[in-house]
Structure 1
Amino acid sequence: MERPTNEEISRVVVSSRVRLARNLKDYPFPNKIDEHQASELVDRVVRTVKEGNTVLKDNLTPVIIKNKSMLEKEVLLEKHLISKELLNENNGAALIQEDETISIMINEEDHLRIQVLMKGLSLLQAYDLCDKVDDVLEERLKYAFSENLGYLTACPTNIGTGLRASVMLHLPALVELGYMGGILESAGQIGLAVRGLYGEGTKSIGSLFQISNQLTLGRKEEEIVGNIIGISKQIVERELEAEKILRKRMGLFLDDRISRSLGILRFSKVMGTEEAMNHLSNIKIGIGIGIVKGIENSEVDNLMIKVQPANQAMIAKEAKRDDKRADYLREAFKNVDIN
């Protein structure tokens, strides 16, 4: 098979994320920290950013978790800007960039979780930016570090580089043909984890999967990132091959399924989250094989976030309602058609 084009890679790889776990030398780990120390740590990190002579001081906005409503916190979670752990952490905070590329979580499982989230297969760029943010913080903060073990973390699996690199992949053809079991087994054998939409303990909806490294000790950052990129490209190739098989097997039935999804999105009066995700997944297939016109793949990726419960409640400015989601999708697809 020919190597996938950048366009093919970008429609299979939805996003790339790099996260660095760091702890400050002078404080207990978050599971042992008291409220006063946690508050002091938040203030110290925020001052480090705001008083520094870098572009970060104007681009990152502090978010104090206990001051936010549950709905506001759930929106941040659905956008992958905070974690499930930070959602319920009253001593937690985050510094979030306006364009939502950078998020620095404070007092999560570790004192700091420095995260960069970018579209498409952009792991190298994400790691480069994350490393620069880490350098800025390390200039004024003393990290817990061991010459033998590397960066010290609350969870032993993060010791070493403290790096987690992951990609979000849309794999509908592999799911349809029943090939995901082989992907999961192969990934585990080479030290990778495959998880659902919101990471560990969550299921896949809309055929979206996260693939990330499991180990950080004894491996260089560049090696971890390079491995994820290489595996991602292999999975993209397998998805594209599976897509061809699926088209050959289903023929008009696949086109019909995509057409039905478009019809439901354009005219439905009530739409649940999981149903919306599955129809949007079909639309992404339709864009890829060239039969859906009037909407870009990146727009559908954005809609997959916007249809999540908290995001919808924020958009509609009222309680989470399936009829409002349907209204939103009808508007988004009113000019979309089948070729």
Structure 2
Amino acid sequence: MQQSETQEMDVFRANGLPWLTCRAADSDVVISSRIRLARNFRKVPFPNRADFEQLAAVLQLADGVMPVVEQATRQHLARFALDHLTKLQRDVLIDKRLITNNLAKNPQDRAVYISDDASISLLVNEEDHLRIACRTPGLALEQAYETASAIDDAFESRLDIAFDEKMGYLTSCPTNLGTGLRASVVLHLPGLVFTRNITNIVNISQQLGLTLRGLYSDDKEVYGNLFRVSNQLTLGFSEQEIIDNLKSAVKEITANERRARKALALYMKEHLEDDIWRAYGTLKYARLLTEKEVL
């Protein structure tokens, strides 16, 4: 599978990601959903313990299954070998969240397969032999899981996946044991941040077995009021239970965010408008913007 110039231009130069810019239900709060499955091949060391020969063998196994994956998803997936990409190209894929820093840091015998609409990215030899990531606009976890499950079935039909009857899917990190599923949703929560109710949401999320973290942040604040909420545990729960729990929490957070926005518009209208116009002025007239200002 070769990288074509057209595919490369689409991935690296596209102005936006179709799954991110598409309007969907609740998209005023819920930006996108993602399902990620972690899988490993039996009798092969995890990537952090494997030598280059073993990593190359894993990559060859993945290459052999890709025609079946494309048939199952009805999508073409372009193959990108990380050690054939420039640092800038790897940085673009990181910024678009199609690969991880960990994969880019050790590019030899690592690869990513990306669908034409960038809704699917398959990472080979990251923390696990295979990371299946599927994204959808808005709150559509079931749709993302359906695609991820089809890809998983394609691999399991051709390869021996590491699985234990008691522990479930075996993974490099113990927190991924069991289903190997990490479900996450990106939320835009300016209302809860401005009304200072975000801390309560974070605490409640932890009680529900979820993690709510800033998508872009430093030690002091979250930039752009963008947050990702995801499940903490995968062992002892079914895939449907994980998805249902996350969906229920997201709907409650969305309802609280909308109430906070109404309160801001009613009681802090002038302050809110002042912040908006200051941001607009900076965007229109500044010659240099920091990452924080952009977000």
Q: Same fold (TM over 0.5)?
A: yes
Query: 2:147 aligned with 1:129, yes or no?
Result: yes
Mapped pair 1:205 → 2:223: yes
CA 1:201–1:97 in 2, change beyond 3 Å: closer, same or farther?
A: farther
Show CA shifts across 1:249-302 (max 9, x none): 21223123223322332333222221011xxxxxxxxxxxxxxxxxxxxxxxxx
Q: Which residue is 2:53 aligned to? A: 36
1:19 corresponds to which of 11, 16, 36: 36
State percent identity of aligned pairs: 40
Q: Structure 2 unaligned runs (5+)?
A: 1-22
1:160 to 153, 174, 178: 178
Shift of 1:247: 1.8
Corresponding position: 1:247 with 2:273: no
**Equivalents in 2 of 1:250, 1:35: separation in Å?**
59
**Post-superposition CA distance 1:132-171 (Å, at most 9, x none):** 1111111111100011111111111111100000000000
- Superposition pairs of residues 25-174 of structure 1, within 5 angstroms: 25-50=42-67, 54=71, 59-90=76-107, 91-174=109-192
Distance 1:46-1:201 versus aligned 2 partners, 3 A rule: farther
Give the letter for the 2:153 counterpart. Answer: D
Q: Match for residue 10 of structure 2?
A: none
Distance (whole Å) between structure 1 residues aligned to residue 46 and residue 267 of structure 2: 54
Which residue identity is paired with 2:124? I
Alignment partners' CA distance in 1, 2:239 and 2:62: 24
TM-score by length of 1: 0.75
Q: Secondary structure, in 3 states, of the residue corresponding to 1:75?
A: helix
Q: Which runs of 4+ in 1 moved over 4 A?
A: 55-58, 198-203
Deviation of 1:198 (Å): 6.2
Instruction: For structure 1, list consecutive stretches of 5 or more residues without a partner in the other structure.
Output: 1-5, 278-339
> Using the alignment, how far apart are the partners of 1:27 and 1:250 within structure 2?
59
Q: CA RMSD in A?
A: 2.2
Equivalent residues of 1:46, 1:95 under 8 A apart: no
SS in 2 for 1:15: strand
Closer/same/farther in 2, CA of residues 176 and 201 from structure 1, 3 Å limit:
closer
CA shift for structure 1 position 9? 1.7
Distance in 2 separating the partners of 1:228 and 1:268:
40
Whether the aligned pair in 2 keeps the contact of 1:9 and 1:233 (CA below 8 Å) is no
- 1:198–1:57 Cα change, 3 Å: farther
1:237 to 255, 274, 280: 255
Q: How far apart, in 2, do the equivalents of 1:85 and 1:198 lie?
A: 17
C-alpha distance in structure 2 between counterparts of 1:124 and 1:202, whole Å: 34
User: How many pairs does the alignment contain?
Assistant: 272
